[in-house]
Amino acid sequence: MNAWALPLADAQPAWSRALPAVVQAVGAPDFDTRVLQALDEAALGVGSWSVYQVWRDRLPQLHLSGSLGVADTTRDCFAAYRDAGLYRRDSSFDAVRPGHAAVLRMHADEAPSHDHRQAIYLRHGVLERLSVVQRGDDGAVFAVNVYRHAHQGRFGDGELAGFAQLAPVLLAGVQRHLALRQPTPDLRAALKARCAALTERELDVCERLLRGWSFDGIAADLGLSVATAKTYRARAFARLGLHFKSELFAAFLPGGDCPPQG
């Protein structure tokens, strides 16, 4: 028999410390927070991150975002990107060919337009962006972006190299996580069959409760406050004739057991 010891932490490159954490976080409701913390612990000096898609013929979609050590303005930034139509003039991903993936770096001064630079980078103190980007054959962009803020300075050469090494696993982990968290059609159909009056948001909240999500996770995923998510839960329970979460599980899950937490 042969045996090899796992590499000691101090013998590994700093960026590799994020690999186990990214893999372990896949499917967890707090995936966005755990990955951001892992990037920080891997000495990549990330202040915030976002994951979004951009298409040619419809509005872009924000999948994940968060900040560490700075005020979280990631959703405000994305709202400006979407609502002001900045995505239509965003040439920052043009270097990635359809059917390929690449790592890109952009300083605030290199933003694709004056409005883009003012509304996102300067207004929110964002200094620099690193991205691992995959472009589909139809031209759609899937981007995992990490940001440095003004007080952090620019990414150093070692951080750039580390991110480039980590990028394939980060991209795969994010895409796998998003695939796993897709709404479960059967649960949604069962809820709708029980009460056709349930609104889309009420269905969104109940479905995620049935999948074991916390209210913090539900609120972050749907872009709501925790209080608003709980309001949708209360309205849905009233329509369904339920009072407790245990009754929801009993009505819609095999055996009536609460699903395991991620």
Hey, what are 26's tokens?
């896949």
CA distance readout (Å), 72 to 48, 49, 185: 8, 10, 32
Could you tell me if 193 and 252 lie in one domain?
Answer: yes
Tens digit of pLDDT for each residue in 111-164?
A: 999 999 999 999 999 999 999 999 988 888 999 999 999 999 999 999 999 999
Tens digit of pLDDT for each residue in 172-182?
A: 999 989 878 76
Phi and psi at residue 90, to the nearest 5°: -85, 105
Domain count, the chain: 2
- Among 130, 163, 180, identify where a domain stops: 180
Could you tell me if 28 and 153 lie in one domain?
Answer: yes
List, in sequence order, every residue forming a beta bridge with 53; answer none if it has no partner.
Answer: 61, 142
Task: List b or e across 130-139, with b for residues whose CB sees 16 or more CB atoms inside 10 angstroms.
Answer: bbbbbbeeee
Residue 122 placed within a domain: yes
Tens digit of pLDDT for each residue in 66-123?
A: 999 899 999 999 999 999 999 999 999 999 999 899 999 999 999 999 999 999 999 9
DSSP class of residue 47 equals: -
In terms of phi and psi (left: phi > 0; alpha: psi -120 to 50; beta: otherwise), the region of 169 is alpha
What's the pTM? 0.69
* Residue span of the structural domain in which 242 resides: 185-256
- Among 180, 204, 230, identify where a domain stops: 180
